[in-house]
Structure 1
Amino acid sequence: MALPTKGRVIIDTTVGEIDIELWSKETPKACRNFLALAMEGYYDGVIFHRVVPGFLVQTGDKTGTGGGGESFYGEQFEDEIHPRLRWSHRGLVGMANNGTKNSNDSQFFITLDRADELHGKHTLFGRCMGDTVYNVMKIGEMELDKEGRPVYPPKIKSIRIVDNPFDDIVPRITAAEKRAQQRAREQAQREREEEQRRKGAKKNVKLLSFAGDDAEEEEQLAIAKKPIFRPELVDAGKTKTTTAIPDFVTQPLASSSKPAPEHEKPKEKPSKKKEEDITKIREQHAKEKASSENSRKAEIEKIEAEIRQLQKRRDGNDSDEELARKKPKKSYLSEELAKYASSRGREAARHDDRG
C-alpha cells in the first residue's frame, strides 16, 4: 500500500506564521516524528537557537542550547535520503543531526538559500509555502552574538496541524493536556509562594527586624522573660554571712512589688576585665616614667660633657686624656667639703694660739 503524500502544519512564531507542506510519502519517519511531537506540544515555547546568515535557521531543541532534543520514537532514527528531493532553493525544511549518520531527534532547520552541500547528509521532509517564507528570512536577519545565537531569539508559540496523513499516531500526551499540566504547576507554585509569604508576614508581625532566624529566637526570648540572675548574691560559698535575696532576683521585673533600697543593694565588684585594664595602665605608666628618667639622665650627661669641653678649651688643652691625667675629676660636693674642712682647721689653730 502506497504511503500518503499529503501533510501540512502552520508554525506560529513570535515573528509570524510559517506554513509548511510535509512530504510524508518520501520521508514517513521524519514526518511522523515531527507531527507526533507537535501533537504533544513538544515544540511550544522552543526558541530558534542558531542562525547562519544566508544559510539556515535552526530550532527544535527544548533546552535552547543546541545540544538537546529527543525523538517521538525514544531514540535517534535513521536518515531518509530521497534522490528526487534536492536542496535547490530557500525555505526547505530538514532534520538536524549531530554530524553523523542516522542521528535524528527533534531538531530541524529551514534554509535561507540554495544549499547543495546538504545533499545526502540531511533528511529533507518539507518546504515553506507562500509568503510565509519571508518570516523565515526575518529570523535570518536578526542580530547575533559571537556564537551565532540571536541576541533576542524568536520563539515557537505553537504548531497547528492542518492536514495529518497519519491517523494512527497516538501521542503520549496531547498539547492541550500538556498546557493544562503546565498551568496547574504554575498555579501550585503561586499558591506555595503565597502561603510562604503569608507565613513570613505572620511570623514577623511583632518584630521590627529583618534578621530571619535570629529574629525568631529574639521573639522567643522576649516571650520567655528569663529572671535576672545575680551570682554575687546567691553564691553563699564565698561569703561568711548570708544575705536575703530580694524578690526581683528570682522573679521577673514585672512581678516585683517593692524594689530594694539603695543602702541594701550590694556593691558590685569590679570585673576581672576592669582589673586587667588598670594593671595594663599602671605598667604602661611605669614604663613611661622609666623612659623619661633615662632620657633625663642622658640629657644631664650630655650637658656635663659639653661643660667639660668648654673648660678644656678655656685652659688651652684639647686632649681629654691629658685633662683627665693632670686634673682628676672631682665632684662639686667634694670640693665644698674640702673647703669647709680647711676653714675648720685654721680656726682651731687660731684658738690654740690664743690659749
Structure 2
Amino acid sequence: MANSGRDDNGSQFFFTLAAAPELQNKHTIFAKVTGETVFNMLKLEDALVDQEDKPLYAQKIIKTEILYNPFPDIVPRTSPEQKPQTEEKKTRRKKDINKNFKLLSFGEEAEEDEEEVMEVNRKFSGRSKSTHDLLNDPKLSAEPAVQSEMNKRKQSESSLSGDEDAEHTSHNTSEQLDQIRKKLKSDRSNVLHTTEENKTESSQQEDKNKKVENQQMVEGW
C-alpha cells in the first residue's frame, strides 16, 4: 500500500509480479495473491502501457475474496447498492398505511376528497395533469392563451394562399371582361356594317325607281 510519508497509508496499492527493491522499506505489504488468480495477474501484465508505465485502458477489479481475515472484529461497511433498497421499502410501507379518517370531525369529507384524488391519480398516471382535467369549471377555456409558432405559421400560410387565390380570381375575371368587351365591339361593328349596306342598297333602289318614273313620263309626253 502506497504512502506519502511515515504512518500515512493511502488508498493506492501495487501488484508486484517480481522483486521490487525500489518499494522496499517505503510501502506496506498487506496481502498476497494466491491460487488461480495468478493467471489474472498475468493478464494484467500484458496490458498496454504508456511511457510512464501507466495502462492505456483502465483495468477493473470486479470482486475480491478474503481467504484469511486477520481483523475479525472489524464490521464491513454496507455497499451503496443496499441503501436505496431499504429506502424504497420504507416508502412502500408509508404508502401501504391506511389513513383512518374516522378520528376526525370532518372524516367523511376528507375520505371523499381522498377517494377523488386517488381516482384522478389512477386516471392520469403516467402523463401530466392540468386544471381542465382536474376541475369541471365551465369558465375555463380549452383554447391555449398563447398560440404556438406552428399555428401562427399555418395561419400566415393560409392567409397568403387566400390572397393568392383572390388575385388569381380577380385576374381571371378581368380577362373575361376584356373578352366580353371585344366581342361586343365586334358584334356592334358588324351590325353597323350591315345597316350601312342596307342603306346603300335602299338608296340605289330608290334611284332606279326614280329613273324609271322619269323615263315613263318622257315617253308619255
> TM-score scaled by structure 1?
0.24
Q: Which has the larger radius of gyration?
A: 2
Higher strand share: 1
Higher helix share: 2
> TM-score scaled by structure 2?
0.36
Q: Which has the higher contact order (CA 8 A, sep 6+)?
A: 1
